[in-house]
Structure 1
């Protein structure tokens, strides 16, 4: 499951001549970036050039999208797969007990 948040606030860190994200705020929650897995340059939306950061936060995996035209950040936060699998297994176990 993924959740998309538009116009998120991103804290940037200056390294040499480049700025990289170090944390972001979505839905009033603070996400500290532990690792930047991948940076892609290209189109993030239909015809909108920008940057796509695949990051690992302290809580969840996420994508940060920077739109070069509007100069806005968008965050896509992915729920951990293990919780979904555990909930599916719990439902199956409950169904076994009902039969």
Structure 2
């Protein structure tokens, strides 16, 4: 195999397509920053997030999410079907912005 040099640190390859993709130059400073960045990007596209993604973005457990929703301290999900809910990216972004220490 020719050119057995390691990939550039600013590029990553995907296994499915083996194409080089540019990576972010600076890592987020905290989980909150990473989640806020992901949510802010999704707001532009008007995305909906299902519970597993909301758990990952917020770091909150199912029971904590349920308790906060009942208390009115977390956005209400929208019903997609009889047993399916999702959260609007804009609602999550507004909630993240309202947290103490949010920039």
Check whether TM > 0.5: no
Under a length normalisation based on structure 2, what TM-score does the superposition of the two structures give? 0.21
TM-score by length of 1: 0.21
More strand by share: 1
